[in-house]
């Protein structure tokens, strides 16, 4: 594989990412799946990078989960999204940062639709005004939270306590980067590095000392697919998608997987347990699973955050092999005794209004 070819493609897909003053909106499902990740994002942005990040207490679901689950019509989704933009406008912010990939995809899709069909935007404005009395401005900058961490990857590394390097061997950790489908497959120009060879997570991994691996099924969906998982009869298809990816990445002996979507880490993590229960198969070294992380968790580990404050005890596939490889000092006995609430001051994990 020729890295320079990838670099040429990456150079064509650079996007503008704001520098400060972010209006951050959380994901509906991440707080249940990986509750430490969004808190970690806020700690990194506020404590480490000293950025202004604002959260609004009235923010709701973007309804993307319903839109992609075929229960919310697009016009309803647009009006819900218009309301989120109104909250941003009222708070005096212009840089919109969603935590969720599907939200990011939905926002991108809606902004593109409004761009091509201004009459739809007008209709939505009227609907919002009528329903809530609110008005909105379109964000000046829309970036996914992983874009923001990508932008500050060097600043994060400057304060790093650990690297993505196997402390014993000195070798870079081999990392599978898995990008949420709704990040760039719909609009390749809106993703760092495009859709075929996305760079957003690879850029972090490279910067922090690791090495990404390019395996044949790298571009493919984890299998969540909303309806595919939500309906039990479809779950066999959902898990088969993840299985195909594991089978394909296995020969490369990955140390870990890094993701930027709410669903992917959930399913890549949980399905490993299910596949092992059903077929007795494991895909990591020494009969272990392959630990799956969110990018905030990885950034947090690099910065020396306590693994249990990052919520790694919520993972089904054990993360400790990676902690050991990186040489992270942590106490296994505190696994279910996180100190996050005590250690984080109020404005870090509570709504700041």
Partner 1 sequence: MSKHVIVIGGGVAGLEAAGQLSKAGIEVSLIEKDSLTGGHLNNWYKLFPDRRHSSEVKAYLDGISLNDRIRLLTGTTVEKFHRNKSHFSIITDKGKELSADAVVVATGFDLFKSEKKEEYGYGIYDNVISSSDLEVMFRSGKIVLQNGTVPKTIGIVHCVGSRDEKAGNLYCSKLCCVTAVKQAIELREHLPASKVFCFYMDMRMGGAFYEELYREAQEEWAVNFIRGKVSEASETIDNKLVIKVEDTLAGRPLKMELDLLVLMAGMEMSEGGKKIATLSGLTTGQNRFFSAADPHYGSNRSNINGVFYAGTCTAPMNITETISHARAAVSDVMDYLKESN
Partner 2 sequence: MEKFGFSISKGRQIDYEANDRRVADFIYEREPSFRLCIECGGCSATCTTGNLTKFSLREIHILIKRGENDKVREDIKKCMLCGKCTLVCPRGVNTRNIVMLAKQAFIKSDEYAV
Binding partner of 124, given partner 2, partner 1, none, CB within 5-8 angstroms per partner class: none
Q: How far apart are CA 104 and CA 43, in angstroms?
A: 21
H-run or E-run covering 95: strand 95-98
Of 117, 237, 252, 273, the one binding partner 1 by CB under 8 A = 252
Q: How far apart are CA 167 and CA 161, in angstroms?
A: 13
Binding partner of 235, given partner 1, partner 2, none, CB within 5-8 angstroms per partner class: partner 2
Residue 63: C-alpha distances to residues 28, 100, 192, 223, 326 (Å): 9, 11, 25, 20, 38
Of 3, 169, 232, 337, the one binding partner 2 by CB under 8 A = 232
**Which is nearer to partner 2, 178 or 243 (by Cβ)?**
243
- Residue identified by tokens 């859709």 is 195
Which span sits near partner 2 by CB under 8 A: 89-97, 229-237, 259-267, 292-300? 229-237
Is residue 108 helix, strand or coil?
A: helix
**Which is nearer to partner 1, 2 or 50 (by Cβ)?**
2
Which span sits near partner 2 by CB under 8 A: 143-151, 208-216, 230-238, 250-258? 230-238
The reply on whether position 252 binds partner 2 by CB under 8 A is no
Which span sits near partner 1 by CB under 8 A: 129-137, 138-146, 192-200, 231-239? 192-200
- Residue 328: which of 210, 149, 182, 162 has the closest Cα? 162
H-run or E-run covering 142: strand 141-142
∠206-207-211 over CA atoms, to 5°? 20
Q: How far apart are CA 120 and CA 125, in angstroms?
A: 9
The reply on whether position 171 binds partner 1 by CB under 8 A is no
Is residue 319 helix, strand or coil?
A: coil
Which distant-in-sequence residues (6+ apart) come within 8 Å of 340 by Cβ? 36, 39, 306, 308, 309, 349
Q: Which two tokens stand for residue 333?
A: 């006995």
> C-beta of 257: minimal distance to partner 2 in Å?
19
> C-beta of 235: minimal distance to partner 2 in Å?
4
Q: Are strands 256-259 and 211-212 parallel, antiparallel or unpaired?
A: unpaired
The reply on whether position 117 binds partner 1 by CB under 8 A is no
Span 265-284, contacts to partner 2 by CB under 8 A: 274-275, 277-279
The reply on whether position 230 binds partner 2 by CB under 8 A is no
Assess contact for 323 and 68: CB atoms under 8 A.
Answer: no
> C-beta of 244: minimal distance to partner 2 in Å?
7
The reply on whether position 194 binds partner 1 by CB under 8 A is yes
The reply on whether position 174 binds partner 2 by CB under 8 A is no
Binding partner of 56, given partner 1, partner 2, none, CB within 5-8 angstroms per partner class: none
Of 217, 247, 318, 320, the one binding partner 1 by CB under 8 A = 217
The reply on whether position 239 binds partner 2 by CB under 8 A is yes
Is residue 115 helix, strand or coil?
A: helix
Residue 245: C-alpha distances to residues 135, 218, 290 (Å): 44, 7, 12
Binding partner of 264, given partner 2, partner 1, none, CB within 5-8 angstroms per partner class: none
> C-beta of 197: minimal distance to partner 1 in Å?
7
**Which is nearer to partner 1, 1 or 233 (by Cβ)?**
1
Q: How far apart are CA 337 and CA 172, in angstroms?
A: 31
Where on the chain is the footprint of partner 1 (CB under 8 A)? 1-2, 4-6, 8-9, 194-197, 214-219, 251-252
Which spans of this chain sit near partner 2 (rule: CB under 8 A)?
A: 232-233, 235-237, 239-240, 243-244, 274-275, 277-279
């Amino acid at each position: 594989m020729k890295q320079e070819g990838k670099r040429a493609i990456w150079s064509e897909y650079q996007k503008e990412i704001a520098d400060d003053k972010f209006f951050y909106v959380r994901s509906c499902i991440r707080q249940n799946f990986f509750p430490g990740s969004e808190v970690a994002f806020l700690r990194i942005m506020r404590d480490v990078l000293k950025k202004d990040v604002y959260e609004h207490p009235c923010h709701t679901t973007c309804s993307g989960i319903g839109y992609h689950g075929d229960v919310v019509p697009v016009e309803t989704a647009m009006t819900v999204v218009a309301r989120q933009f109104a909250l941003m406008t009222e708070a005096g912010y212009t840089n919109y940062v969603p935590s969720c990939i599907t939200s990011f995809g939905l926002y991108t899709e809606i902004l593109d639709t409004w761009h091509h069909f201004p009459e739809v935007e007008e209709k939505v404005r009227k609907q919002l005004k009528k329903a809530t009395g609110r008005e909105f401005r379109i964000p000046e900058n829309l970036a996914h939270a992983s874009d923001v961490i990508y932008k500050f990857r060097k600043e994060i590394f400057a304060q790093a306590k650990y690297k993505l390097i196997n402390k014993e061997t000195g070798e870079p950790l081999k990392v599978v980067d898995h990008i949420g489908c709704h990040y760039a497959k719909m609009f390749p120009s809106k993703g760092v590095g495009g859709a075929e060879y996305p760079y957003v997570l690879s850029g972090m991994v490279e910067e922090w000392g690791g090495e990404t691996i390019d395996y044949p099924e790298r571009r493919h969906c984890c299998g969540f697919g909303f309806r595919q998982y939500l309906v039990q009869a479809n779950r066999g298809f959902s898990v088969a998608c993840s299985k195909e990816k594991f089978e394909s990445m296995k020969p490369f002996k990955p140390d870990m997987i890094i993701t930027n979507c709410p669903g992917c880490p959930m399913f890549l993590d949980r399905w490993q347990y299910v596949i092992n229960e059903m077929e007795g198969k494991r895909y990591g070294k020494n009969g272990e699973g392959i630990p799956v992380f969110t990018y905030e968790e990885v950034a947090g580990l690099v910065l020396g955050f306590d693994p249990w404050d990052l919520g790694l005890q919520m993972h089904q596939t054990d993360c400790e092999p990676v902690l050991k490889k990186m040489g992270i000092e942590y106490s296994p006995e505190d696994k279910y005794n996180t100190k996050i609430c005590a250690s984080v001051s109020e404005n870090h994990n509570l709504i700041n209004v």
